[in-house]
Each structure stands twice: as structure tokens, then as C-alpha cells.
Amino acid sequence: MMKKRVYGILGISSIMANWNAGFDGYPKTTSSGETYGSDKALKYPMKKMWEEQGEKVVYIKSMRLEQGKKGEIRLIPRSLKERYEFLFQVEDLKQCKDTQEVLKNLFQAVDVKNFGATFAESGNNISITGAVQFGQGFNLYDETFPQEQSILSPFRDATKATEKDGEAKNSTLGTKIVSDEAHYFYPFVINPLAYKEFMEMGVTEGYTEEDYLKFKEAACVAATAFATNAKEGCENEFALFIETDPKLYLPNLTSYLRFERREGKNLIRLDLNDLAEELGDRIDSIEIYYNPATTEMDHNLKGAVYYDIITRKEV
């Protein structure tokens, strides 16, 4: 089991993109109008990256073909039970009466190992609180505005009839909604003691250094790597990792971060000097990743080591 706690912040820039849309298609906002991204929006690209690397990921959408009663073949999403059976080569979860075996399998999945799980399937009622916990990612750029783009489809909609001859003659129109510019910052904490009870059951070795390194890698690049139509333009622009002794408890670190939109390069300032000096003997390391091509750091945080988030070389 890893012997340290980790606190940090992950920053995502969104330029003419939609990092996290609500059901209305617009970037999510609070009742007071603040733009934010949910923790699910950040976790999904990380899980997608792990899946593409061949890791076991339980909580992600996957599809299968199903033959209907009339012989038609349909493409449908797998249920949680089906996803579990597919990943762990289990013929029928209902026949498995050994909850310890189910737990051991779940802890083999990288998303469960990091983010935990709620698994209520076929007589197994399992809740695992993840070692990695995210807060909501609030946009710190005050002048964010949504933009609507009309999109012309190359096809007509044959289901829509015209009054003249009952058949649609024109291509259909759609709408794409993006933010002109937004900068989201997510606080997170990693508590390796979260799985202590499960370690005592013998179903996991706990949250390890290897698990942390997998998280760290995905935390720095997953948003950039996840290039869908809506997410193209979303990139990892900042990451802070503060490794501490296992009994140190820090507040939400985004309250110490300041973002300034500037011509040329943006500025990110961390007002953590006083905190770092007071807790110096309990802080093992401070690492900061950012993109020097688009961002300037104040470089005033004592003991911090700065890296290029793209090349991973020290700045």
C-alpha cells in the first residue's frame, strides 16, 4: 500500500469546445450562472484512455449485438452485469455466490481501484469508496460565453414531409454548442487508507504506487487525448501534485489558485507559500505541470518542481 496522501489540482482548458454539457446542450452552470464541469466529465476521458491501453475498466459504456424476437440484429449497450461477465470471463454472475471473488475481480479494474464502485448486481450489494476523490471543476475565466453553430447535414430527413409532395427536399440543420473559452480547475485528494478494510478481507493489496502512477499519467494527458467532436479543443493545461505524510489533511487547494486571462500567455498563480512553509516537514514533494507555450506560472512556490505538461521535462 502507498504510504502517502496526495492533494492536487487538475486544470482543463476548453477553446471553442464543450467540456461538460447539460441536458440542454449548453455548458453546465450553477443556479448563480457559474460554469463548471462535473467530476464525471473528468473521469470519463481517463477511463477511456485506460481502456485503450488494455486496462480493465468496468464503469464505461460498451456495446454488444443482440438478436431480436423477429430475427433482427440490434446494437445495444451492455448492462453492468454483462460488462462484469465480459471483462472477467464469468459465464453467469447469478451463479457466483462468492462475494470475495467478486470483490477481487472488481479491484483488478483500474477505474474501481482509483474511483471506487457501487455494484448491486445478482445478490452482490457492494459499495467501494474510491481512494481518489474529485471536487467539481469550476471555470475561473469570468468572460466565458456559449456559442451556437448551425451545422448543415449532407442528408435530408426522409421522415419529414413537405406540404407539396409529401417528401423532404432539403438537407437538415443541426446545432453545435461550445464555449468560446473556459478554464476548469478540479481539486482532488488521494487517500490510500480508503481500502484498509478490504485489505483486511484479503481482496486487494490496497492502493499502490503503481496505481498512483497510472492515475498521474492519465491526469496529465487524458483530456488532450480524448478528441471527440465536442471535446476537440479541450486540453490538459495544468496539474499540481502535493505528496504528504499519510496523516496530513489539507483543504480544497483550488481556493489558493488564481487564473488571469492575458494577451499572449495566461497566468496561473498559487498562493501556497505560507501553507508550504508551515507544513514543510510534512510535505514530501510538490510537482507542477503546465504548458509553457500557453501559460506562465509565478514560480514562487518554495520547494516546487515545474514540468512541461507535454514533454514532462523540467522547466
Evaluate whether residue 313 is within a structural domain.
no
Report pLDDT for 70.
84
Evaluate whether residue 126 is within a structural domain.
no
Evaluate whether residue 314 is within a structural domain.
no
Report pLDDT for 71.
85
Evaluate whether residue 47 is within a structural domain.
no
pLDDT in tens, 203-226: 999 999 999 999 999 999 999 999
Q: How many CA atoms lie within 13 A of 15 on its CB side?
A: 8
Distance CA 307, CA 185 (A): 18
**Count of structural domains within the chain:** 1
Report pLDDT for 122.
81
Report pLDDT for 151.
83
Report pLDDT for 161.
58
Cell match 417528401: residue?
Answer: 167
φ and ψ of 198, to 5 deg: -70, -30
Distance CA 128, CA 164 (A): 61
C-alpha cell at 99: 462475494
Residue 78 DSSP one-character state = P
Evaluate whether residue 193 is within a structural domain.
yes
Evaluate whether residue 165 is within a structural domain.
yes
In sequence order, what are the beta bridge partners of 10?
Answer: 186, 239
Evaluate whether residue 52 is within a structural domain.
no
Q: Show the low-confidence residues of the chain (pLDDT under 50).
A: none
C-alpha cell at 87: 471483462
pLDDT in tens, 235-277: 999 999 999 999 999 999 999 999 999 988 999 999 999 999 9
Q: Whose CA is closest to 241, among 270, 204, 262?
A: 270
Distance CA 28, CA 40 (A): 12
Q: How many CA atoms lie within 13 A of 126 on its CB side?
A: 23
Contacts of 86 (CB under 8 A, 6+ apart): 62, 64, 78
Evaluate whether residue 236 is within a structural domain.
yes
Distance CA 107, CA 206 (A): 9
Q: Whose CA is closest to 133, among 215, 61, 204, 206?
A: 215
Report pLDDT for 152.
79
Q: Name the residue range of residue 200's domain.
A: 5-41+133-308
Report pLDDT for 302.
86
Q: Is the pTM of this model over 0.75?
A: yes
